Amino acid sequence: MKLVAQVLGYGQTPFGRAEDKTLADLAAQAAQEALESAGVAADILQAIFVGTYAGVALGRQGFLAAVVASRLGAAGVPVMAAEGACASGTLAFHQAVAAIEAGVHDVMLVVGAEKMTSASTAEVTSVLASATDTASGSYRAGLTFPGFFALLARRYLHEYGVDADQLADVSVKNRSHGAHNPYAHFQKSITREQALNARQVAEPLRLFDCSPISDGAAAVVVASREWAQAHGAVDAVRVLATGLASGPVSAEALDSFVSLPAVVKAAGSAFARAGVTPAEVDVAEVHDCFSVAEWIALEDLGLFERGAAAPATSDGVTHVGGGRCTVNPSGGLLSKGHPVGATGVAQLIEIVRQLRGESHNQVPSADVGLAHNVGGTGGLAAITLLAPA
């Protein structure tokens, strides 16, 4: 029989520029805070899973999982690293959940971390752009990730007759949410005019449509329900289900530019396994690496009909207190920042906070939460559904 995995505690560094900290410093700080939050000593961990994408290329630190174990004084504990581009953190979390559900381990630590700001913007853009099939025509033509999501945005606006100015409503919402999040890279609201007057990055996406380059780390302690009960854990959050799928790894491999098939498949799998429907989701953290990505995510997840996410966002439906599923109460990647390997774990932390009633942007009576983490051109999608234990 499959065991139930629970999140017992979490830790997170502030996201942003951490000039005085290395990748290992950040990862160890978040890990230590997660262990203290869960009341779990490092030496009783049965495994540590770490998600990072560019540890070597940007963070100048390989071998991060073993380094984290060493920093925690947990040398000897089995370690594993997961790389799934921007979904690396959730990929590590899903492997830990699978190990719990299979009865392989009872208590584990999951860490996601990235150190990016010490590299130039051009270097970061180049490293991130390689999260695709580098033999593809789009990569050879010089397609960047802002460019990729701009391709999606152009088509979305065309297919649904949406005004390009409505893209600003996503970033204005998420910046307003992030203004209340002390861990966010940007903690200041912006106006619609500021968003619309910002410089172009990849048309039709402007500066505030793009998530920033950030440093940061996030960590959670995961255990089986039986282990948690035996050790007196309180305020645990249950993993209802995970869904993981791979998908097209270049722009030209997509059949549609308004949907990422890996998300549809992973979400379908997660909802089926959890026995809940999209309509039951009260709060969602979705991968808004670019503003248009939030619209497409909400539709691929089944939270909104095709073409309905843009007007719903403009109408305020997805704001905290908007009356339906609240989207990105943490501020999302647009405001919170996007230290790639840490992003997925930080999304899970916000959902755990919501389900415990301790978020800075608390959604009343949140019973079901969803985290949506995507890697590359939708080459990997990792969906997690959570509920109070």
Partner 1 sequence: MTATVTTFTIIHIGSQGPEATPYAVVVAQTDEGGSVAARADGDLSWLAIGQPVRIVQGADGASAHCASNSVATQ
Count of residues interacting with partner 1 (CB under 8 A): 33
CB 284 within 8 A of CB 328: yes
Q: Cβ of residue 380: shortest distance to partner 1, in angstroms? A: 20
- The answer to whether residue 161 forms part of the interface with partner 1 (CB under 8 A) is no
Q: Cβ of residue 150: shortest distance to partner 1, in angstroms? A: 4
Strand partners, 386: 239, 369
Window contacting partner 1 (CB under 8 A); options: 108-116, 146-154, 313-321, 373-381: 146-154
Q: Cβ of residue 145: shortest distance to partner 1, in angstroms? A: 10
DSSP reduced 3-state for 111: strand
Which one of 158, 197, 321, 357 is in contact with partner 1 (CB under 8 A)? 158
Helix (H) or strand (E) holding 382: strand 380-388
Torsions phi, psi of 48, nearest 5? -130, 125
Q: Which is nearer to partner 1, 200 or 229 (CB)?
A: 200
- The answer to whether residue 306 forms part of the interface with partner 1 (CB under 8 A) is no
- The answer to whether residue 70 forms part of the interface with partner 1 (CB under 8 A) is no
- The answer to whether residue 377 forms part of the interface with partner 1 (CB under 8 A) is no
For residue 158, indicate whether it is catalytic.
no
List the structure tokens of 256: 């549609």
Which one of 235, 252, 280, 367 is in contact with partner 1 (CB under 8 A)? 252
In the Cβ-directed half-sphere of 71, how many Cα atoms lie within 13 Å?
21
- The answer to whether residue 254 forms part of the interface with partner 1 (CB under 8 A) is yes
CB 275 within 8 A of CB 128: no
Strand partners, 239: 386
Torsions phi, psi of 140, nearest 5? -65, -25
Window contacting partner 1 (CB under 8 A); options: 36-44, 96-104, 250-258, 285-293: 250-258
List the structure tokens of 151: 């391709």
C-alpha–C-alpha distance, residues 357 and 306, integer Å: 31
Q: Cβ of residue 339: shortest distance to partner 1, in angstroms? A: 20
First to last CA, the chain: 18
- The answer to whether residue 125 forms part of the interface with partner 1 (CB under 8 A) is yes
Active-site residue (options: 94, 177, 287, 338): 338
Helix axes 291-300, 167-178, angle to 10 degrees: 100
Which one of 250, 318, 343, 347 is in contact with partner 1 (CB under 8 A)? 250
For 90, 314, 329, the CA distances from 277, given in Å and listed in that order, are 21, 24, 21
Window contacting partner 1 (CB under 8 A); options: 47-55, 149-157, 162-170, 376-384: 149-157
What count of residues does the chain have?
389
CB 48 within 8 A of CB 65: yes
- The answer to whether residue 367 forms part of the interface with partner 1 (CB under 8 A) is no
Q: Which is nearer to partner 1, 128 or 351 (CB)?
A: 128
Q: Cβ of residue 164: shortest distance to partner 1, in angstroms? A: 12
Active-site residue (options: 86, 210, 289, 325): 86
Q: Which is nearer to partner 1, 38 or 334 (CB)?
A: 334
List the structure tokens of 316: 């305020």
135, 348, 377: which is closest to 262 by C-alpha?
Answer: 377
For residue 289, indicate whether it is catalytic.
no
> Which residues carry out catalysis?
86, 338
Binding residues (CB under 8 A) for partner 1: these are 121-122, 125, 136-138, 140-144, 146-147, 150-155, 158, 199-205, 250-254, 257
